[in-house]
Amino acid sequence: MRRLIAIACLAVAAPGLSSAEEDFRTGIVLDAGAYRETDGAVIMPGAWPMVASTKANMNSITIELDGVAITATYETVFKNGKNTAANLIIGQTVRAKLGGRGNRKLIVQIPDGGEVRADVVRRELARPPGE
């Protein structure tokens, strides 16, 4: 009898998703793009001071979650020499959630199995299609 109760409790408590997995919701990709960010010149110390600039390949994505368009930026993520964010297509549904301190991170599960953690830069009400 104890086994039957334990099995029934496990079946009810664990329907296949962990509590962290349940936080992900279905969202729609509204925009995705890449750009190059330059932080400016840096003087490198040494016997012969050099001036160098720091550059980063960045991405910007906008995803609609629960009627809110969330725009976030992140540095390019390479997986097997390929940018995993290139798999995002406008209009595609993805699994995403807000996380981090104060919900300032947008965590998106990429269709190829990867995950992108981006810094939220803007939130606004999403416009209905056709507007």
- The C-alpha atoms of residue 74 and residue 76 are separated, in whole angstroms, by 6
Is residue 116 exposed (0-12), middle (13-18) or buried (19+ Cβ within 10 Å)?
A: buried
90 vs 21, more confident: 90
Select the more confidently predicted residue: 90 or 34.
90
How does residue 69 score in pLDDT terms, banded at 50, 70 and 90?
very high
Check whether 87 has a pLDDT greater than 80.
no
Confidence of residue 33 (pLDDT cuts 50, 70, 90): confident
Confidence band (pLDDT; 50, 70, 90) for 41?
Answer: low
The full set of domain ranges for the chain reads 17-125
**Residue range 97-120: mean pLDDT, rounded:** 88
> What pLDDT is recorded for position 20?
53
Q: What is the average per-residue pLDDT within 73-98?
A: 78
Q: Rounded distance, CA 98 to CA 112, Å?
A: 20
